[in-house]
A and B are shown apart, each in its own frame.
Chain A
Amino acid sequence: MKMEIAEEDGVTRVGLVGRLDTPGVDAIETRLTAAVVPRGVRAIVDLSGVEFIGSLGLRMLITITRALTRRGGKMVLYGPQGFVAQVLETASLDDIIPVRPDATSALSAVQA
């Protein structure tokens, strides 16, 4: 599981590549949480390079979103492909965390 975090125009951009299964979540959860939650940032998360997401991956995204919302921040996901898009749809994740097709629409959603 690879993760890149960058700041641009007041928005934290997170890029994830790999499998968000149990080892994948273990590898990034602490770092991702520390990077976005304490400062209550606005963050967009690129999921286009994620090939698998399990229940622990969903749990990580939901937990971070809920913590972020309490601190006045916001997180928007974008670009899920194939299998991951299907899992997010099944979980109705869009009811909890906004999911957008691409970076441009994610940016406008997070700044809204």
Chain B
Amino acid sequence: MAEAASVRDDLRSYLVVLENGEPVARHAVGPARLTVGRDPARDIVLDDEKVSRLHLQAVLVGEEVVVQDLGSSNGTFMDGGRITGPTVLPAGHWVQVGSRLIKHERRSQREVDREAELQRDLEKARAYVQSILPPPVRTGDVRVDWFHCPSAALGGDAFGYGPLDRDHLVAYLVDVSGHGVEAAMHSVSVLNLMRQKALVGVDFRQPAQVLEGLNATFQMEEHGGLFFTVWYGVYSRPERLLRYGCAGHHPGILFALGSGLQRLQTRGPMIGAVPGQHYRSAEARVPPGSMLYLFSDGAFEITTPEGRQLGMEEFLPLLGGEGAGTTGEAEGIYRAVRARARSGPLADDFSVLAISFD
């Protein structure tokens, strides 16, 4: 009983800012007024044009959080109605300000500390995932630029590239179903296996063999019901040929001089879904000056602010343009996608690799 009482006494009120349902900031509420607005001088700053510079205030009165709209242009809403005058915001309830929700939570210091610790752990995990992605390649006859942005702290996208031997280079992109911690753990285990080339009896120069080896290793029943899609390609320098294979993945896009845009795709289900599945490979010629783009579906499955669903066809014009082959191209593609999507984080992980061939 004593412990229960002390835990209860320890409870404090917090305002938590939610973006797309995800908490992005937490502020303790006390007897001194806490201001909310777009102006950087506010205690809680919301970067949203529907939010007034000084929009709202909150103050703790006894154990109650009292909120008051300070004459904002677009109003403050609670339970679907616009609030006027000082209003009690009960614990577990929220007000809507522009596109954000601000929720009142009663938490103990211990809970808040624990959450902060979990956030730090996630941050470390994120840094680890980033560390196993190879650095961009700026010199040599084949160069790689990439941009990767998980939709949550951790994502299910991963990729790799590098030499297999003197004549062959490999590049692949893996997209594990779902996102978040579970997907990230799976993508890391797949990536590490690929980096070690640890598939018994598999010639990594042969895409179909690699896909079949992965499929034998990662059946979804043995891996928490997770599957993944993959695009895998091997470039042969002496032949100027790209051999590639897909498992449930959309095409890689090749711009070859004289041939225009080519969709490099073979048919086959995602890795882990069908035991004993056979996969195919195909080939494409890579003349000097070609560009190859690999990307996750999060790069083109975009919802516009009007709620319209965009797809691959809207994404393709962003590739192979003026910036092709330059440093920062992949990030430029991300910015162009971002500009078309509704506000908040993208719904899915975003990865784009831009590979240029001399």
Contact = CB atoms under 8 A, between A and B. Distances in A.
A51 B267 contact: no
A56 B178 contact: yes
A92 B225 contact: no
Interface stretch (B33-41, B128-136, B235-243, B269-277): B269-277
Most buried by B among A22, A62, A91, A95: A91
Contacts of B176: 55
Nearest to A52: B309
A86 B312 contact: yes
B268 A59 contact: no
A21 B177 contact: no
A58 interface: yes
A29 to B, nearest CB: 11
Given A54-B301, A91-B248, A95-B274, A83 B269 contact: no
Contacts of A55: 156, 175-178, 229, 297, 348
Contacts of B249: 90
B157 to A, nearest CB: 11
Interface string B245-261: 00011100000000000
Contacts of B277: 95
Given A58-B270, A91-B269, A96-B269, A83 B348 contact: no
A110 to B, nearest CB: 19
A54 B348 contact: yes
A51 B303 CA distance: 11
A92 B312 contact: no
Interface in B307-331: 309, 311-312
Interface in B281-312: 297, 301, 309, 311-312
Given A54-B348, A95-B269, A95-B274, A90 B178 contact: no
A105 interface: no
B11 interface: no
A91 B309 contact: no
Interface string A89-107: 0111101100000000000
Which 6 pairs, one residue from A and one from B, show the smallest C-beta to C-beta distance? A55-B177, A91-B248, A59-B177, A92-B269, A95-B269, A90-B250
28 contacts: A52-B309, A54-B348, A55-B156, A55-B176, A55-B178, A55-B229, A55-B297, A55-B348, A56-B178, A58-B177, A58-B270, A59-B220, A59-B225, A59-B226, A62-B220, A62-B273, A63-B220, A63-B225, A66-B221, A90-B248, A91-B229, A91-B269, A91-B270, A92-B248, A92-B269, A95-B267, A95-B274, A95-B277
